[in-house]
Amino acid sequence: MARILGKIIGLIINIVLIPVVLILSIPVGILKARRNAKSRLLFTGTEQSLLAKAQRAINIENNGLFSPDEDLLEVARCIEQARCEYQEIKGRDRFDSSFSEFLMPRINQLHVGDWDNVISFFDLSKFNLSEQDELHHESVGDLVKALQNYIVTYKRENGISPETVMLDHNIHMMFAHAGIYKNSKGYFGDTAIIPVGNVEGGVTWKAIEPAAKTKPCDEFDDDIPF
């Protein structure tokens, strides 16, 4: 009898506790769901793709299978370092900037030799610009016109357009973000634009002077008397 009574009491307790457990588990589940949603919202799908590419480049270097392009590896390391810092900041403080806004100024400060390759590999043109970059973006039209005027002036003074113009890499990044190079001939004709870290003379752009043509030597004349 006592055993049966104990089972009945235990069953009643379990029945009473089930709703309590369910009620208490709801806030925990909500908090967990919010935490997961926050984690997903920390990086957009495009940013996650960027992080995956950066991690892949770093893994290739670490595995020693072959060494990726130095420019790509430098940018990949910058992206990974920015990710670590961004997650730390977001977990500690209120920080409303997106990861791409946090990242792009860091990438713009890198000294990269082939920006076209970097932009193409990481699809950097997909990302929105930060406020500072947007201010620069507003002046892209003026910079394009100024460079066009420089090319026209060069042609007027030298008779031909410059074959190649060295361009400050920061301005090059601005042009790339604005999509100028998608139709570069429409802006700069047949003049090739080459981004460099530091243009000679500290200017924004400079034409590369063509190599002076050496005057061919006269053919040796056997009939010249000695």
Tens digit of pLDDT for each residue in 60-109? Answer: 888 876 777 888 999 999 999 999 988 888 887 776 778 888 888 788 77
From its phi and psi, is residue 123 left (phi > 0), alpha (psi between -120 and 50) or beta?
left
Q: How many CB atoms lie within 10 A of CB 71?
A: 17
Alpha-carbon gap, residue 8 to 131, rounded angstroms: 69
Confidence of residue 154 (pLDDT cuts 50, 70, 90): very high
pLDDT of residue 130: 41
Say if residue 167's pLDDT is above 80. yes
Alpha-carbon gap, residue 57 to 71, rounded angstroms: 11
pLDDT of residue 83: 92
As a whole number of Å, the CA-based R_g of the chain is 31
Nearest to 53, CA basis, from 145, 153, 160, 126: 126
| pLDDT per position as a tens digit, 18-37 | 665 556 656 655 655 555 55
- How many whole angstroms from its chain centre is CA 31? 34
pLDDT of residue 165: 92
Q: Tokens 């050496």 sit at which residue?
A: 214
Residues forming beta bridges with residue 167, ordered by sequence position: 195, 205
Say if residue 202's pLDDT is above 60. yes
Summary mean pLDDT of the chain:
76
SS3 category, 185: helix
Alpha helices in 43-183 (DSSP H): 45-63, 70-92, 99-108, 115-122, 131-138, 140-158, 169-178
pLDDT of residue 151: 93
Average pLDDT over residues 8-23: 67
User: In Å, what is the CA distance from 182 to each residue of 28, 140, 188?
Assistant: 51, 15, 12
pTM here?
0.46
* Beta carbons of 81 and 103 less than 8 angstroms apart: no
Average pLDDT over residues 144-165: 91
Which one is predicted more confidently, 146 or 218? 146
* Beta carbons of 192 and 163 less than 8 angstroms apart: yes
pLDDT of residue 136: 45
pLDDT of residue 15: 74
In the chain, % of residues over pLDDT 70: 68
Confidence of residue 164 (pLDDT cuts 50, 70, 90): very high
Say if residue 169's pLDDT is above 70. yes
Residues forming beta bridges with residue 124, ordered by sequence position: none
Say if residue 220's pLDDT is above 50. no
pLDDT of residue 153: 93
Alpha-carbon gap, residue 102 to 207, rounded angstroms: 34
pLDDT of residue 77: 92
* Beta carbons of 57 and 71 less than 8 angstroms apart: no
Say if residue 194's pLDDT is above 80. yes
